[in-house]
Chain A
Amino acid sequence: MSQWSNRGADVAKLSVVSLVAVTLMVACGDTSETFSSGQVTSAEIAMPGTAFGLPANAPDRFDFGAEASEQRVAMWDIDVRPDGVGLPEGNGSVQEGREIYNVHCVACHGLTGTEGPNDRLVDSEQWENVPTTRTVGNYWPYATTLYDYIRKAMPQLTPGILTVDEVYAVIAYVLWMNEIVPEDAVMDAETLPAVVMPARDKFVIDDRVGGAGIVR
């Protein structure tokens, strides 16, 4: 590979040393994985917090990549968090959202968000224990996830076609269809994170831990 420099060749040599070490271990009938238990071969040094070693002569930094400018980061940093970080300037209303929805969303989600053929968005079922159908209204814990997902992935055949305001508007409409916001609601970077979704408090972090006699 032509892009490999002399330094790359050194790294390649060290990989060969590691490979020989591994081969010897296997040949000796040791089926345990020395690497994964936190140890490394003699050609490598252990690193804190990782099962992978680094070659003993590795520099503090290889500097193979390029520093990313603020503009470069901004170009791709499009995720949105529940605290509202990542939401852009702009806004959209339920009324505007109805028009967007009926053009871009209705074919897959139906006029009322219940007809499919793709994911059902609306369900008035109040669930005590488990919902039959998991929808935006009865299952999604955060309204901000709608922005994150719609901006990235919707509409399915033309993702990214909606403007900032149109995304806010269609979210307002979907939330209104689910009776979560009133008909005069306007969604923006302030109001969207403030929406409390009905299923919010139902979500708990995984408590499975493995171990004998434990089924969770």
Chain B
Amino acid sequence: MPSAESPKLSRRTWITTTSGVIAAGLVKTQADAIQLIAQEAPTDPTKVPGRLVSEIGSRAPSEQPKRLIRAPALSSSSRTPLADLMGTITPADLHFERHHAGIPDIRFEDHELLVHGMVERPMVFRMSELMRYPQVSRIRFLECSGNGGGVYNRERMPTEVTVQALDGLLSTSEWTGVAVSTILREVGVRPGASWVLAEGGDSAVMSRSVPLDKVMKDSILAYGQNGERIRPEQGYPLRLFNPGYEGNTSVKWLRRIEVTDQPTHTRDETSKYTDPLGDGTVRQFSLVMDAKSVITFPSYPYVLPDKGWWEIRGLAWSGRGRVTRVEVSTDGGRNWSDAALEGPILEKSTVRFRHLFDWNGRDTVILSRATDETGYVQPTVEQLWEARGTRTSYHQNHQRAWKIARTGEVTFGLGDLV
């Protein structure tokens, strides 16, 4: 990938010594000169001093993965470059974004969390106070329930589409904070309580109702992500994190938790994030993200340069627990083989799968399907259409297919083979 930002040095600069650079007035010190020279890879890196240490690291100039923003001026989401990533952890600066009224700027010292409602003692916590509570960390995926919505419509099935554009509203991080159960123990939940309302401090005051059992079981008031303070676009200084639930419930910039005996039926759990099923009913509070997998390599726009051995790679996850199995088909779904899973296999986290494939150079279609510990198998799109109709906008976790043409070109979908 070419780097647009890195300064270019002329070929002649390479033969200039560091003192020459200094003499030429380009920089003042030898350290600066080394820094300048090392910005472009020399022909022989063993013959040029390397760069010095730095306070903040940066990626290699030729490695610049970026989030995808589809409509730059007005966009309220950006997508993780899944095809550029390895392992399971998403670098924090590439974690997908979805905001409902932009990213608020909040000072750590000023932020407060109010916990009230059906509790013995309503309390307000400053961030420094929340951080004194016993700290927990969990590696968990976060997925927007609208992820994959672009490939559900029967009439408009795209072929030239990247895995980032399709399923990039998925990221995995180590989330650190205080267990919600610890804070609810502190305020004392009253008998009869069954839900909580979580409310953000952004200008949409984004609010979601979450079952009390859920937040007690494994939700986190997160202030850390992948070893650092959570980033502004992920809810700095505090977000609710509900493992395995649709991303919207993990309310960012969290300022209030109200313990209640009923859901509040906010806008984002009635007019949005609900599923009209086609039988006249609308499914509400469809909170858990069902098992899903995506092949990240090979995928559009990659072109396989040659037949022979290739490793198909991808990610699998389930909001209901651990992924127990991922199968891969290299013949359009006729035959399936177990893919290798890279441990540790954590519940409600992504797992990396891989399957060695000896491509014979002919047209074919590759697919993956995940099974989770409940026995649930990632369905086909036809099974979802059958169960829910074709007009839902969320939770489209059906199997993804990539067609490999004899030219090596990879495109989305089953193509005309199946």
Contact = CB atoms under 8 A, between A and B. Distances in A.
Interface residues of B, number: 83
A15 B256 contact: no
B101 A204 contact: no
B114 to A, nearest CB: 5
Interface stretch (B17-25, B52-60, B151-159, B282-290): B282-290
B287 A64 contact: no
A153 B204 contact: yes
Given A64-B132, A202-B281, A52 B345 contact: no
A55 B134 contact: yes
A211 B374 contact: yes
Interface of A: 1, 3-5, 7-8, 11, 14-15, 26, 31, 33, 35-36, 47, 49-52, 54-55, 58, 61-68, 72-73, 76-83, 128-131, 134, 136, 139-142, 144-145, 148-149, 152-153, 156, 159, 199, 202-216
B182 interface: yes
B86 interface: no
Nearest to B205: A152
Contacts of A207: 283
B123 A68 contact: yes
Nearest to B187: A65
List the 4 closest pairs (A to B, CB-CB), nearest first: A212-B375, A210-B374, A152-B205, A50-B181
A35 B134 CA distance: 14
B134 A215 contact: no
Interface stretch (B167-175, B230-238, B327-335, B382-390): B382-390
Q: Is chain A's interface secondary structure helix, strand, loop, or mixed overall?
A: loop
Interface of B: 100-101, 114-116, 121-126, 128-136, 138, 179, 181-182, 185-186, 197, 199, 203-207, 213, 216-218, 255-256, 258, 260, 262, 264-267, 270-271, 274, 276-288, 290-291, 320, 343-347, 372, 374-377, 379, 383-384, 386-389, 391
Given A64-B186, A141-B282, 16 more contacts: A35-B138, A36-B347, A62-B132, A62-B186, A64-B133, A67-B123, A76-B114, A76-B255, A80-B264, A148-B267, A159-B101, A205-B283, A206-B286, A207-B283, A210-B372, A215-B379
B217 to A, nearest CB: 6
8 contacts: A3-B128, A15-B135, A50-B218, A62-B132, A77-B258, A142-B265, A199-B282, A210-B375
A68 B374 contact: no
A131 B286 CA distance: 19
B278 A82 contact: no
Contacts of A199: 282
A39 to B, nearest CB: 13
B270 A31 contact: no
B191 to A, nearest CB: 13
A134 B275 CA distance: 11
Nearest to A25: B344
A212 B271 contact: no
Nearest to B279: A129
A148 B266 contact: yes
Contact of A65 (B126, B256, B274, B281): B126
Given A65-B123, A202-B282, A210-B372, A52 B271 contact: no
A214 B197 CA distance: 30
B135 A54 contact: no
Contacts of A203: 270, 274, 281-282, 284
Nearest to B213: A49
A65 B124 contact: yes
Given A68-B123, A152-B205, A202-B280, A52 B218 contact: yes
A106 B197 CA distance: 31
B292 to A, nearest CB: 13
Instruction: Kindly name the residue among A67, A130, A139, A149 whose own CB sees the greatest number of chain B CB atoms within 10 A.
Output: A130
Contacts of B132: 3-5, 7-8, 11, 62, 64
Contacts of A7: 132
A202 B282 CA distance: 6
Contacts of B280: 128-129, 202
A210 B290 contact: yes
Contacts of B290: 208, 210
B175 to A, nearest CB: 13
B134 A159 contact: no
Nearest to B184: A50
B207 A79 contact: yes
Contact of A130 (B126, B128, B278): B278
A130 B392 CA distance: 9
B271 to A, nearest CB: 5
A7 B383 CA distance: 56
Given A50-B181, A72-B124, A205 B114 contact: no
